[in-house]
Every structure is written in structure tokens, then in C-alpha cells.
Structure 1
Amino acid sequence: MYRYDDRDRAIINDRVAQFRGQTERYLAGELSEEQFLPLRLQNGLYIQRLAPMLRIAVPYGLLNSDQLRRLARVSRDYDKGYAHFTTRQNLQYNWPQLEDVPAILAELAEVEMHAVQTSGNCIRNTTSDPYAGIALDEIADPRPYCELIRQWSTFHPEFAFLPRKFKIAVSGSEQDRAAIRVHDIGVQIVKRGEAIGFQVLVGGGQGRTPVIAETIRDFLPEEDLLSYLEAIVRVYNQLGRRDNKYKARIKILVKALGPEEFGRRVEEEWQQIKDGVEKLTPEALQWAKSFFTAPDYKTFDDAASTAALQQQADSDKAFARWLERNTYPHRVPGYRAIKLSTKPTGVPPGDVTDRQLEAIADLADTFSFGEARATHDQNVVLADVEQGQLYELWQQARKHGFATPNIGTLTDMICCPGGDYCSLANAKSIPVAEAIQRRFDDVDYLYDLGDLNLNISGCMNACGHHHVGHIGILGVDKKGEEFYQIQLGGSASNEASLAKVLGPSFSRAEVPDVISKILDLYVEQRRAEEPFIDTYNRIGLQPFKERVYAKAS
């Protein structure tokens, strides 16, 4: 993983000192709330419903064990002993005291972490595939390009105050696991012959106006990545609306101009800068790639290793379930990636305690070369585990609450903090998630349903990605009361689609029954082992609507 050099350390330490002074001036009454607002947002600090919220950057989700232990210590010393993994592969603290935030940032700087550009109208944390570097379908490792984008976008003087927040995701595999089609810019690594390049998509996003991104370039040469991104953001910065924050995202500009015209303007801008300082030299590309080399893998007899693993699975049904759902194939024989589930019944999805963060660090050190990866779906991946150590790892994961064998199932849901914390939320998300977890807490039933994504957002900002859930739940306000709108048919995969609203919203108490009716119809209508999303695409919305809203006779 990338490690800071002296310049990185100096920049982050200077930023910590600056924010310490700004916070002291605000607390002393020398800065108004209006003056302090952009300063705190530039350092990841929000004022939420009950307390400040501090969002820590985790570039493309990658963490080492020292960072995990420091995050745990900060949670214990400055918060209430837990933290929350987000869909941008970041981590949030929900209860820090404002006067402690500079000290928190100073602690994090010691382990090469910060909160820069995790909020505000700037380029946010670049996200990617949690299986980068080990996936069987990988075209090229996306992490070096993510790091180049991170360095290009951080403190970029031209893009500090964009019309609205801006998000970039990079996928390096045939199957999109980074949701690039619902980002302001999505970058897909492609090959033309032996040459590495990029398909560039623009104008995706969720929120009040959900949009699937449009391709504006089928093949961008590798060396032109940063200059082309620069051209895109320049066009957006110049033409994006600033008079209405609800119409300020790049998706609105792309829709207004049309993708062809937007792409033409980007090409025009790019021609002026493509051979300038942003052009990536072979040396710069090699430098970025040098941080993401393979660890010191052992050589195994894959057949013997797999046979031994199968024998363990045959003798322990609980282990076999976990092995089926929570492990992922690895490109190196004798290894697998495992996903630690943060979603046992009764725990808010994505929440971890300080002790659990330390446990992840210990597991990473023992089993996965000291590294872990926060995921888009609010879990944690250990990417490089020997097959012969999976049984031992599973036992350790169970002890720490990470072995719920539900990855990819209904209860492995994405869920924003909602009205329990967020001042923007219309409704609570966490109680709805728990009610669904408890209603469907039967792994045999979950496995029979198969792969099924359920996403919950407490408001139209869509932090829970409800627009791209196979089943999406959106909290809405009806005359001061919390209700929930159900949507069906969304997907963030290669065949990305936006969910459609089922009909009128429901009270919180009704939601589990509604989900049950949807699932009952799916089970009745599916063909063989057909996944939910395929059944929905085949039969459409209307049968689900009729089932859910049918009046009892």
C-alpha cells in the first residue's frame, strides 16, 4: 500500500495545525458559524443531530493494522467506543467533541491518515474494488490509478470549491464491484491489444435525481488519465450550476447538454492540456505501481489444499456455510479472500466497536500480511488468507462477531445512519434494518433466496444507495411522521439499473411484512435458481405491486 513520504507528512501536519488554530478561534468567538462552516467541512467535520460527526478518509478502502489500532484508540479515547464504515470505504465517528477534533486529526496523522476532502464541494475519496490485486477477473490492478487520482485531487487549487461534491470510482475487473456507473466519474480499466487504457463514464449519481453514467470515451490511453479527468472537472467547474444545490451535480449538466455535447467540450478542453504537466510518464506510472506489489505468497499444492479445506467443511456445517458465503476466490493457488461481516442481527450495518477494530488488526497481522480493506457494502475484507488457515480464522472471527454467514444475502444490507444521527434524514434507518434482520434471521431461508441486495436510506441523499438495491427502502416524511417508500429492481453492477417505486409508502411497522410479500412472490415466480433481480427483470414491477397492495378478502 502507498506510504507517505516527507512531503505528505508535512502537508498533513500543516493542515492539522491550521485546523487547530481555526477551531480555537471559532470556540473563542473569533470566527462566526458561517466562517467556520467551510473550514470544518474541508476537514471532514459535520454537525449532526446530536453531536459532531467526523469522517476519516480511507483511500480506496485500504488499511494497515497500525491504522486500525489507532482508529480503535481514537474511538475509545474521544468517542463512545465504536465507529461506522461507510459506502465510500471511509470510517465515521459519531460522537467526538468539537474541541477534541484537532487532537484526533493529529493522532491520525501519526499513522498516515487524515479527514481531508471527506466532505464539502470537492473531489471526495476515490473508491475501488475491495478485491483489487487478487480477483480472478482482474484486467489490471486499479489501486495505482486510485492513488494517482488521490494525489492529483487532494488540495487541487482549482477544484476546492466545485458546484457540488464530486465522486470518482475505478474498476479494474470485468465485473464492476465499485459501482462506477453511479458516480460523477466512473473509470473502467480496459485493454486494447496489450495496451492498458480506460473507458470513462460521466454523470452518474444517486440522490434526488438518480442517473446512470454515460460513456464519453471508450478508450483513453493510460498516460492520459489525469489530464482527461482534469478536463472533465474543468468543464463541470465552469458550467455546473451554482444557483441551486439540487441541480448542481455534474449529472444535471451532462443531462442538460447531452452526453455527446458534454464529451465534445471535454475533448476540446483536453486538447489544450493533454501534453502538459498532468501527462503520466512511464516513470510516474511505474512509481505508482511500485507500492502495490504482491506480498510474499507461499507455494501450495492447490489440489491438496482444497481437498483438506473440503474435508473441514464436510465435518462442520457452520464452517461450510461461512466458507460458501464469506470467502472469495484468489488468483494465487492456495489462498482466498475473506469478508468479515459487520452485520449480525441487532447490530447497525457497518458499526464496529473499538475492540473489534483491534481484532481486525490482529486478524490482518495473523492471516493477511497486516492489511485489511473497507468495502463499498460496509464490511471488511482480508484479501490474502491461506486456505489452510481459514478454519482457524473463522473461529477467531466468530469470537469477535465477524462470522455471520450472510454475505450477499438479504441481511447483508447497506444502511445509512439515518435519523438516529443525521440531521438531514427524514426517517430512521437502523430500526428498519434491525426489524428486517430479526424477521429473516434464518440462514436456510436466506440461502434459498440467494443473492439479494437490500439497501436503506433515511432520506433522498441516498447515502444507503437505495436506488441501486434489488430492494431499496427510502425514509420519507409525511406531516412529521416517518414512512418508508419501497423500490425494486436497482443494480450497481455492469448492467446497472435504477429501482422503480412500488407505490405509496408504509409505516415502519409494516415494512417487514411488505418485504415478506415481495419475497413470497419472488419464490413463487422464479425459475430454478434464478436470482431475484433476474426474476424482477423478467416479470416486471406490476406483479409485486399487486401482491403488496392487494386488499385482504
Structure 2
Amino acid sequence: MYIYNEQDQKIIEQRVAQFQGQTDRYLAGKLTNEEFLPLRLQNGLYIQRLAPMLRIAVPYGLLSSAQVRKLAHITRVYDKGYCHITTRQNIQLNWPQLEDVPKILGELAEVQMHAVQTSGNCIRNTTSDQFAGVSQDELEDPRPWCEIIRQWSTFHPEFAFLPRKFKIAVCGTEGDRAAIQVHDIGIQIVKNSADEIGFQVLAGGGLGRTPVIGSVIREFLPQKDLLTYLDAILRVYNRHGNRDNKYKARIKILVRAWTAEVFAQEVEDEWEYTKDTLGRLTQEEIDRVKGFFTQPPYESLDNKISDEELAILAENNIAFGKWLQRNTRSHKIPGYTSVTLSLKPTGVAPGDVTDSQLEVIADLADAYSFGEIRATHNQNLVLADVKKSDLFKLWEKAKVSGFATPNIGTLTDMICCPGGDFCSLANAKSIPIAEAIQRKFDDIDYIYDLGDLSLNISGCMNACGHHHVGNIGILGVDKKGAEFYQIQLGGNAGSDTSLGGVLGPSFGESEVPEVVEKILTIYIEQRKGDELFLDTYRRIGVTPFKESVYPKDKKISNMHKDQGLKHA
């Protein structure tokens, strides 16, 4: 992983000292709320429903064991003993005291972490595939490119005050695990007819109030032109994005209004001014950054023997076999595998992890995975480089500590934003809905029979829970001060991205688990063989689900529809 140099460390330490002074002046009454607002946002600090919330940057989800131990210490000393993994692979603290935030930032700086640009109208954390660098289906490791983008975008003076927040994702596999089609800019690593590796560039994707799938604006971009081309995109957006209405300020609105073709031409025209500037990457710089992502010292292992031994262990221990099936993934190096530590046990808010669990995870990373941990879009954690011969020992330790739930990729491995329990923007609570669904569907064999199925929950239209791209999406809406939930079906965040369609009028909190059960019953009745939920939905359409959920003798008036969709 990338290691700070002396200049990097000095910049972050100076930023901490600067924010300490700003916070002191605010607490002393020398700065107004309005004056302090942009200063705290630039340092990842929000004011939420019950307390401040601090969002900590985790570039492309990569953490060292030392950083995880520091997070454990911070959550214990400055918070309530836990933190939250976000869908942008970042870490959130939900209960820090305002006067302690500069101290927290100071402690983070000790392990080369910060909260810079995790909020505000700037370029946010660049995200990627949690299996980057170890995946068998990878064309090239995307992490060096994420790091190059991070260094370019952090403190970029021209893009510090964009019309709206801006998100970039990079994917190195054909099967997209970085959701690049719903980002402001999506970058797909590709190979052209001359066998050269470069990038396909998408722009104008995003979720939120107006979900849009991004459009390809350049089929092939040479590697050395990455930053100058991104400069061109951001300049066009910065100049023409809507600054008068925040609901129309994202780049997706501009691209849709102009059409992708017009936007692409504007970018090409702007690129004529940027492509041959000092921002053009040199091979020396590319190699320098790639040097931080070299292959760890893997052992030469007999994959066949490892698999035979695992098969015996799985046969003799059903629980281990289920975990092996769901929570491990093939690795490019024989004898190794990648392990996902589930943060989705029933009764725990999805994505929450305690201080003691963090310390155990750091120990496991040191013992079994070269001291590295990855945060995922699905709010779990990954140990990417585990020897197959160590899996049983790792499973036993993970099980004791509460993150060996064998549910990765299933219904109960749901994405869920903090919702109304914490967020001041939320229309409804998300966490109680997640728990109710987990308790309703607690039969693991039933869950396995359903196959891969994504369920995403958002407490409002900002879509932090990515409900638009869940096979089943749940959105909290406000109906005359009461909390209701709208159901969407057919979303997907993979390479064949699709946006879910609204099923119909919304439901009360107590109704949601029963509605989900009815939806799943139709799926089971209509599926062909081992067909996945998304495939069944795409084949039969929404009507059978709608007829099951809404009784035929219940007429749905336009007024009822309007109430249910009022805040969509």
C-alpha cells in the first residue's frame, strides 16, 4: 500500500494544526456557524441528528493492521466503542465530541490517515474492487491508478469548490465490482486492438434523487493521459454545472441535459488545452506509484493438496463448509484465497464493527494476510491473501469474535445506511428495517436456496444505501410526518447495471418484512432451475410481484400513489 513520504506527512500534520485553531476559535465564539461550516466539512465533520459525525478517508478501501488498531483505540477513547463501514469504503464515527475531533485527526495522522475531502463539494474518496490485485479475472491492478487519482485530487485548488460532491471509481475486471456505472466518473481498465492497456471512461452516473447510469464518453484513453483527461472533465463540469440548485448540481444532470455526445465533445475540446501540460503522466511516475503495490512474499503451495484438506474439513464440519462456500473467494496465487469477514450478524447494524473486533481483525491480518485489510462497498471487511491451510484456524477465531456469519452475497448481507437513527437528512430509520428482515429470514438453508441476492436500504433519497441498484431496494419516505418505506425491484450494480423500478405505494415499518416475503415467494414460484432473483425479475417483469403484494380487490388511487412517491 502507499506509504507517506516526508512531505505527505507534513501536509497532513499542518492540516490538523490548522483545524485545531479553527475549532478553538469556533468554540470560543470567534467563528459563526456559517463561517465554521465549510471548514469542518473540508475535514470530514458533519453535524448529525444526535451528535457530530466524522468520516475518515480510506483510499480505495485499503488499511494496514496498524491503522485498524489505531481506529480501535480512537473508537474506544473518543466514541462509543464502535465505528461504521460506509459504501464508499470509508470509516465513520457517529459519536465524537466536537472539541475532540482535532485530537482524533492528530492520532489518525500518526498512522498516515486523515479525513480530508470526505465531505464537501470536492472530489471524494476514489473507490475500487475490494479484491483488487488478487483477483483471477483482473486485467490490471486498479489500485495504483486510484492512488494516482487520489494524489492528483487531494487539495486540488481548481476543484475544491465544485458545484456538488464528485465521486470516481476504477475497475480492473470485466465483471464490475466497483459500480463504475453509477459514479460521476467511472474508469474501466481495458485493452485495445494493439494490445495496449488503457481506460474506457464513463461520465454522468450517480444515484440519489435522480438516479442515472453513466455514459461512455471515451472508448480508449492511453494511460499517460489519465489525469489531463480528468482535468478536462472536471473543468467542463466546474464551469457549466448548476450552482443555483443543489438538486440539479451533479454532473449527471449536465450530461443528461446536453446528451453524452455533446458532453464528450466539450471534454475533447477542453482536453486540447490540458493534454500536453505538466499533468501528463510519465512512465517514471506510473512506475513509482505501482512500486507501492508489489506482490507480497507468497509461498509456493500445492493447491490440490490444500483443496483436498479443505474438503475433508468442510465435510466434517458443516458450519465451516457453509462459511467456506460463502465467505471465501478464489485467488490468483495457487494455495491462497480471499476471505470476507461478515459485519452482518443479526441484531447488529450492517457495517458496524466494535473496537475489540477491530483489534482481532488487525491480529488476524498480521497472522494470515500480510497485515492488510480491505473495506468493501457492501460494508464488510476482507483479508485478501490467506493461505488455504490457515482457513480453519481463521474461521474459528472469526467465529468467536462475531464476524464469521456465512451470508456473503445473500439476502441478509444487506447494505444499509445509518438512516434516521443518526442522519439528520433521513426521512426514516434504516437499521430497524434491516434487523427485522434479518430476524424474519433467519433460516440459512432458505437463504442459500435463494442464491445471490442483493437487498439495499436507504433512509432517504440521497441513496447512501444504494437502494436504486439493489435487486430489492428499500427507500424510507416521509408521509405527513410518518415513516414509510417504498420498495423497488430489479436494480443491479454489476457490469450490466440497472436501476430498480418502484413496485407501488409505500408500506409501514411493520409491513416491510411480510412484503419482502411475498416478493421472494413469487420468485421461488417463478424461477427456472437455479435462476437468480434478478434474472427471474427481468424475465417475468414486475406484474406478478405487484399482484402478490397488492391485493386485487384493493384499488390504488392516484392520490395514494402520489403520497407514496411524494419524496421520490
Q: Deviations over 1:343-385 (max 9, x none)?
A: 0000000000100111110110011000000000000000000
Distance 1:191 1:222 in 2: 11
Report the CA distance between 1:121 and its aligned residue.
0.2
- Secondary structure of 1:322 counterpart: helix
Distance 2:224 2:312 in 1: 48
Report the CA distance between 1:194 and its aligned residue.
2.9
Report the CA distance between 1:301 and its aligned residue.
1.1
Amino acid of the residue matched to residue 221 of structure 2?
A: L
Report the CA distance between 1:469 and its aligned residue.
0.2
- Secondary structure of 2:486 counterpart: strand
1:322 alignment partner in structure 2 = 323
1:7 alignment partner in structure 2 = 7
Q: Deviations over 1:216-265 (max 9, x none)?
A: 00100011111101100100000000000000000000001110000000
What pairs up with 1:325-344 in 2 under 5 angstroms? 325-344=326-345
CA distance 1:552–1:444, shift in 2 (3 Å): farther
Report the CA distance between 1:195 and its aligned residue.
1.1
What pairs up with 1:211-290 in 2 under 5 angstroms? 211-290=212-291
Q: Deviations over 1:425-457 (max 9, x none)?
A: 000000000000000011100000000000000
> Does residue 104 in structure 1 map to residue 80 in structure 2?
no
Report the CA distance between 1:552 and its aligned residue.
7.8
Amino acid of the residue matched to residue 283 of structure 2?
A: P
Distance 1:551 1:273 in 2: 60
- Secondary structure of 1:262 counterpart: helix
2:35 alignment partner in structure 1 = 35
Distance 1:95 1:80 in 2: 7
**Structure 1 unmatched runs, 5+:** none
Distance 1:245 1:421 in 2: 22
Report the CA distance between 1:551 and its aligned residue.
4.9
Distance 1:444 1:428 in 2: 29
Distance 1:496 1:208 in 2: 18
Distance 1:132 1:103 in 2: 33
Amino acid of the residue matched to residue 475 of structure 1?
A: G
> Does residue 138 in structure 1 map to residue 133 in structure 2?
no
1:94 alignment partner in structure 2 = 94
Report the CA distance between 1:271 and its aligned residue.
1.2
Question: TM-score, normalized by length of structure 2?
Answer: 0.97
Amino acid of the residue matched to residue 170 of structure 2?
A: V
Report the CA distance between 1:64 and its aligned residue.
0.2
1:396 alignment partner in structure 2 = 397
What pairs up with 1:542-553 in 2 under 5 angstroms? 542-551=543-552
- RMSD, aligned CA: 0.7
Distance 2:230 2:411 in 1: 36
2:566 alignment partner in structure 1 = none
Distance 1:175 1:293 in 2: 23
Q: Deviations over 1:285-321 (max 9, x none)?
A: 1001000011000001111111111111111110000
**Structure 2 unmatched runs, 5+:** 555-568
Amino acid of the residue matched to residue 80 of structure 1?
A: K
- Secondary structure of 2:483 counterpart: strand
In the TM superposition, structure 1's runs of 4+ consecutive aligned residues that sit over 4 Å from their partners are: none
Q: Deviations over 1:124-165 (max 9, x none)?
A: 000000000011100000000000000000000000000000
Distance 1:538 1:336 in 2: 35
* Percent of aligned positions that are identical: 69
Q: Deviations over 1:42-94 (max 9, x none)?
A: 00000000000000000000000000000000000000000000000000000
Amino acid of the residue matched to residue 155 of structure 2?
A: F
> Does residue 149 in structure 1 map to residue 168 in structure 2?
no
> Does residue 351 in structure 1 map to residue 343 in structure 2?
no
Distance 1:79 1:308 in 2: 43
Distance 2:263 2:311 in 1: 53
- Secondary structure of 2:350 counterpart: coil
Distance 1:552 1:203 in 2: 42
Distance 2:142 2:116 in 1: 22
Q: Deviations over 1:201-220 (max 9, x none)?
A: 00000000000000000100
2:564 alignment partner in structure 1 = none
2:474 alignment partner in structure 1 = 473
Distance 1:387 1:421 in 2: 40
Question: TM-score, normalized by length of structure 1?
Answer: 0.99
Report the CA distance between 1:542 and its aligned residue.
1.1
